[in-house]
Amino acid sequence: MSDQDDDHIIEPHTSTLHTRREFLRTSMLGAAVSFTLPVFLQKTFFTLDAMAADSAIQTATGKNDTILIVLQLAGGNDGMNTVIPYADDAYFRARPVIGIPKDQVIKLNDYAGLNPKLSGLKGLFDEGHLSVLQGVGYPNPNRSHFRSTEIWQTASDSDKYDSYGWLGRYFDSCCQGADPTVGVAIGNQVPQSFAASSPTGVAFSRPEQYRWFNGDKSGASDLVYKEMNQPEMDPAMLDENDGGSVDSLAGSSAPSRHKESTLAFLERTALDAQMSSDKILDIARKFPASVSYPHSALGDSMSLVGRMIAGGLATRVYYVSQGGYDTHTNQVATHARLMGELNDALVAFAQDMKAQGNFGRVMLMTFSEFGRRVTQNASNGTDHGAAAPMFVMGGGIKPGLFGQYPSLSALNAGDLAYNVDFRSVYATILDRWLRAPSKEVLGRQFPLLGIV
């Protein structure tokens, strides 16, 4: 940031609220509460008391808990040019123009190897900090970007529709009462995987701008802003907001998302914004990036994640996205560029985490909505396919190749057939990394993998 920019930043006001819990204590627990509560407060309020008693509820401290970073490769990454079956002639027959020449492939074993741009990931693989999951997918794959993304985000069966995301259900079951920053999406959008019955999570891309600016130096304006941007506590108003009475809280089921009025939704988001912005701005000021990140959108995002981790933001899940993978035409140069950006950003992030002493606490998982067809198309690109590899990186994971490389001859409608259900990856991460009950979050028990 330039000096000029800093001129515009007014020092943070003395905040009365730092966390959602604090807000609840001061605003709710201090008062004799006998009237109705807005929907989102009901459950939070209830779980606050339950928290002490229930060890399954994990609030993020930002200091020593494990952290998950989900990296979405949006558009459908060409898995076969990411992890390449270089020893299979069928690969070169199917991709005479876009196939990666055998001598350029970075070999992982005598069958498969990495894209030549992923040399840094090979380094991490060799030192035991990267695992490669082959043939990941799900039954009856869908080739629509939107539907398949939705399936990955909600972890639903491909013939079922869930409105909540897999991470949202994790927040619901394990992070009630936590700060809104328990889930952080880098960017302006919150991913569908965060959708929850008590939605949690913040989104930002430029921490220096993630605050409320105003034209009043007196502070009077701040008070009005705070007053207007928190849930209305006026009992008469609360009735209109689908409030439930406190008495009904014990044992009550989660209120549905749709029961929350639009105004209540906005008020809750406004409160989350208020509470998270001071903290994030503070960390951004105190913790510049400790290593040099590549100049790419993904590099910027990973650098920001690194700074937030360094500053101890109370976050369990970061969500980052890299776009541009929908390579229908002349894909060679585009895909190489994307692979290079991915490699450089992840290598820098690993260095950053090691330098911070946090590498053992972080796990990064990549995913894409689908892989691409085995055979190149008429435009030297690839169309939407199915099963594809995933990467899992971190200081505390078990490295290696997992799953089988799908057969290039036994295809499923022209596509690679999956042999690892992506929900097994989620289940493993939930159970063994986030210490959350995967069966509850995913609706049933999926077989666990040896990745952690």
Partner 1 sequence: MLTPLHARQWDLQKAAHLLNRAGFGGTPDEIKAFCELGFDKAVQTVLDGPDDATQFPKPAWAQPTNLLALHQQMMTLTADEKKQMQQMVQKQYRQDDIDLINWWLNRMRFTSNPFREKLTLFWHGHFATSVEKVHDSYMMWQQNELLRQHAFGNFGLMVKSISRDPAMLVWLDTRESKKDHPNENFAREVMELFTLGIGNYTENDVQEGAKAFTGYRIAPTDETFRYAPFQHDEGVKTFLGQTGPFTGDDIIDIILQQPSCAKFIAKKLWTFYAYEDPDPSLVDALASNFRSSSYEIRPLMSDIFRSAEFYSPDSVRQQIKSPVQWVVQTSKVLETPLARPQITINALRQLGQVPFAPPNVKGWDGGRSWITTSTLLYRYNMANFAVGNGPLRIERLRKIANPNAPAAPNSFDVQNYQGPDLAKVIPAQVRADPKRTIAYLCFRLYQDPLTPRDTETFVKYLSDHGPTPTDDTYRELLHLMMSTPQYQLT
**DSSP H helical segments within 357-435, as ranges?**
422-428
- Closest by CA to 290, choosing from 365, 210, 204, 350, is 350
Question: Does residue 35 touch partner 1 according to CB under 8 A?
Answer: no
Q: Which is nearer to partner 1, 50 or 224 (CB)?
A: 224
Find the shortest distance in angstroms from Cβ 263 to partner 1: 6
- Closest by CA to 152, choosing from 222, 82, 72, 212, is 72
Residue carrying the six token digits 């989900």 = 70
Continuous segment of H or E residues that includes residue 282: helix 262-286
Distance, first Cα to last Cα, the chain: 39
Question: Does residue 371 touch partner 1 according to CB under 8 A?
Answer: no
Question: Does residue 299 touch partner 1 according to CB under 8 A?
Answer: yes
In the list 229, 351, 358, 419, the residue contacting partner 1 (rule: CB under 8 A) is 229
Question: Does residue 206 touch partner 1 according to CB under 8 A?
Answer: yes
Question: Does residue 54 touch partner 1 according to CB under 8 A?
Answer: no
In the list 110, 251, 258, 333, the residue contacting partner 1 (rule: CB under 8 A) is 258
Contact 382, 328 (CB under 8 A): yes
Find the shortest distance in angstroms from Cβ 424 to partner 1: 26
Question: Does residue 225 touch partner 1 according to CB under 8 A?
Answer: yes
Site for partner 1 in 104-143 (CB under 8 A): 143
Q: Cα–Cα distance between 306 and 353 in angstroms, integer?
A: 7
Q: Cα–Cα distance between 371 and 424 in angstroms, integer?
A: 18
Q: Cα–Cα distance between 82 and 347 in angstroms, integer?
A: 16
Q: Quick one: which segment of 127-135, 214-222, 309-317, 364-372 binds partner 1 (CB under 8 A)?
A: 214-222
- Closest by CA to 107, choosing from 130, 127, 125, is 125
Q: Which is nearer to partner 1, 231 or 399 (CB)?
A: 231
| Phi/psi at 76 (5° precision) | 95, 85
Question: Does residue 332 touch partner 1 according to CB under 8 A?
Answer: no
**Residue type for 176, please?**
Q
- Beta carbons within 8 Å of 221's beta carbon, 6+ residues apart: 214, 215
Question: Does residue 190 touch partner 1 according to CB under 8 A?
Answer: yes
Find the shortest distance in angstroms from Cβ 439 to partner 1: 29
Question: Does residue 256 touch partner 1 according to CB under 8 A?
Answer: no
Find the shortest distance in angstroms from Cβ 41 to partner 1: 15
Q: Cα–Cα distance between 154 and 157 in angstroms, integer?
A: 9
As to burial, measured by CB atoms within 10 angstroms (0-12 exposed, 13-18 middle, 19+ buried), residue 108 is buried
Find the shortest distance in angstroms from Cβ 267 to partner 1: 5
Q: List 434's β-bridge partners, or say none.
A: none
Q: List 133's β-bridge partners, or say none.
A: 390, 402
Question: Does residue 255 touch partner 1 according to CB under 8 A?
Answer: no
Find the shortest distance in angstroms from Cβ 218 to partner 1: 9
Q: Quick one: which segment of 86-94, 290-298, 306-314, 417-425 binds partner 1 (CB under 8 A)?
A: 290-298
Query: What is each CA distance from 386 to 58, 366, 419, in whole angstroms?
Result: 35, 16, 11
Cα 253 from chain centre = 26
As to burial, measured by CB atoms within 10 angstroms (0-12 exposed, 13-18 middle, 19+ buried), residue 221 is middle
Q: Quick one: which segment of 21-29, 292-300, 304-312, 392-400 binds partner 1 (CB under 8 A)?
A: 292-300
| Phi/psi at 323 (5° precision) | -100, 175
Q: Which is nearer to partner 1, 249 or 289 (CB)?
A: 289
In the list 54, 126, 127, 216, the residue contacting partner 1 (rule: CB under 8 A) is 216
Question: Does residue 152 touch partner 1 according to CB under 8 A?
Answer: no
Find the shortest distance in angstroms from Cβ 208 to partner 1: 8
Question: Does residue 324 touch partner 1 according to CB under 8 A?
Answer: yes
Residues at the contact surface with partner 1, assessed by CB under 8 A: 1-2, 4-5, 8, 143-147, 180, 185, 187-190, 202-206, 208-216, 220-221, 224-225, 227-229, 232, 234, 236-237, 258, 261-263, 265-267, 269-270, 272-273, 276-277, 295-297, 299-300, 323-324, 328-329, 377-379, 383, 413
